[in-house]
Amino acid sequence: MLRRSSFVLLAKPWLAVAATATLGLGPGRAVLAGPGDVPVGRFSRAVVEVGQLVDYELSYLHDPRAEVVFPDSLADFGSFEYVGRRWLPTRTQNGRSLDRAVYHLRTFSLAPVQTLQLPVLLLHGASDTLRLRPPAAQVRLHRVAPTLYSTEAAGPPTLRTDYHELPLTPAFNYPFWLAGLVGLLALSGGAWALYGRRWRQRYGRYKRRKNHVYFLTQFTRNTERFTFSRSAPLVERTVTLWKNYLSSLEETNLNSLTTKELTEHFQNDEDVRRALRATDRVVYGNLLSEDAQEVDAAFQRLRDFAERRYESIFTSGQ
């Protein structure tokens, strides 16, 4: 009968001895191994593909008194790869026992015909061993990929050398530019979040400095014109220019304020009070001939006050 507990013990290669008609089992005992006692091995199909599972059935009809060992997972399966196995129960009838095992295999070899012979061992004790090999079973490989050439001598097909490059129409890479735009917007947003306040302050200082230079240029031009023309409307335009500049500098509306309200707005500054009183006499009292020199002094006071206000605001904005 088949001894399944012995499969794990056969981890080392089997010891082969010369095949004889009988196997000695001690004094006065013998197990017949006649001409018909040969294992039989066969595949479940005749054609197999690369990597496809195929079953190999190994059976042996023997004397019930014989101890039989079938191959385990460490046996030599040749070009096949071991996947698993299944044992079938021993059947004894008419004084003969039949043991069978089914091995699940697969192959990755490209040989067109592949064969397999798994031996069966008859043993007694530790030294008496008989290896019995079944007739070779074969399976044919079915190639799925087409063959490039029929024989080795034919070689690979000849490559064509008359190919020409075809012009391709350039296409706009929308994903690339969209990704770049999103990255640029994200970078700009991060930079603005980190440095936006500082940039706004610097731009504000630059704008105030530019407006201050423009005011001084226009104010100086008006005072020079007044030196030659002594015109009352020019005095009014110069005072309006001064009010507009201070309004933009302090971000308030000073044009609608009277002279008294302007003086109070600037904490009764002496230069503002005296300068606006002198310009009011010229604009509203038509006393230009008497107060020409006083108007020149008033222009200078207004200019000095504007420069002081600019310096105080510019210094505090830093």
Q: Write out pLDDT tens, residues 153-205.
A: 666 667 777 778 888 888 888 999 999 999 999 999 988 888 888 888 888 78
- Shared domain for 135 and 10, answered yes or no, is yes
For residues 145-152, average pLDDT: 64
Q: Give CA angle at 124 (121, 130), nearest 5°.
A: 35
- Shared domain for 126 and 215, answered yes or no, is no
Task: Indicate whether 166 belongs to any domain.
Answer: no
Q: According to the model, what pLDDT value does residue 91 have? A: 92
Task: Indicate whether 134 belongs to any domain.
Answer: yes
- Shared domain for 205 and 137, answered yes or no, is no
Q: According to the model, what pLDDT value does residue 17 have? A: 28
40 pLDDT above the threshold of 80:
yes
299 pLDDT above the threshold of 80:
yes
Least confident span in 11-15, 31-35, 63-67: 11-15
Q: According to the model, what pLDDT value does residue 272 have? A: 87
**Positive or negative CA dihedral for 226, 232, 238, 239?**
positive
Task: Indicate whether 231 belongs to any domain.
Answer: yes
Q: According to the model, what pLDDT value does residue 156 have? A: 67
Name beta bridge partners: 58. 41, 101
First to last CA, the chain: 104
Confidence band of 148 (pLDDT split at 50, 70, 90): low
- Chain-centre distance for alpha carbon 117: 52
CA distance linking residue 105 with residue 41, whole number of Å: 13
- Shared domain for 213 and 115, answered yes or no, is no
Q: According to the model, what pLDDT value does residue 75 have? A: 92
Q: According to the model, what pLDDT value does residue 139 have? A: 95
Q: According to the model, what pLDDT value does residue 57 have? A: 96
- Shared domain for 114 and 11, answered yes or no, is yes
21 pLDDT above the threshold of 80:
no
Q: According to the model, what pLDDT value does residue 85 have? A: 94
- Shared domain for 120 and 216, answered yes or no, is no
**CATH number, domain containing residue 137:** 2.60.40.10
Determine the structural domain holding residue 27 and report its residue range.
4-141
Tokens 């409307």, residue located = 233
Confidence band of 117 (pLDDT split at 50, 70, 90): very high
71 pLDDT above the threshold of 60:
yes
Task: Indicate whether 267 belongs to any domain.
Answer: yes
Which helix (H) or strand (E) is 252 found in, with range? none
254 pLDDT above the threshold of 90:
no
Task: Indicate whether 193 belongs to any domain.
Answer: no
Q: According to the model, what pLDDT value does residue 24 have? A: 35
For residues 29-40, average pLDDT: 57
Q: According to the model, what pLDDT value does residue 137 have? A: 95
Q: Which of 104, 123, 141 is the last residue of a domain?
A: 141
Q: According to the model, what pLDDT value does residue 157 have? A: 67
- Shared domain for 105 and 222, answered yes or no, is no
286 pLDDT above the threshold of 50:
yes
CB-neighbour burial class of residue 180 (10 A; exposed 0-12, middle 13-18, buried 19+): exposed
Task: Indicate whether 146 belongs to any domain.
Answer: no
Structural domain count of the chain: 2
Q: Which of 103, 125, 141 is the last residue of a domain?
A: 141
- Shared domain for 134 and 260, answered yes or no, is no
- Shared domain for 223 and 128, answered yes or no, is no
> Which one is predicted more confidently, 117 or 28?
117
Long-range contact set of residues 254-263: C-beta below 8 Å, sequence gap at least 24: none
Q: Which of 120, 141, 162 is the last residue of a domain?
A: 141
Q: Edge-to-edge strand order for the sheet containing 67-69?
A: 67-69, 120-124, 128-132
Task: Indicate whether 148 belongs to any domain.
Answer: no
- Shared domain for 121 and 205, answered yes or no, is no
Q: In whole numbers, what is the pLDDT of the chain averaged over residues?
A: 80
pTM equals 0.41
Task: Indicate whether 153 belongs to any domain.
Answer: no
- Of the candidates 91, 89, 102, which has an alpha carbon nearest to the alpha carbon of residue 62? 91
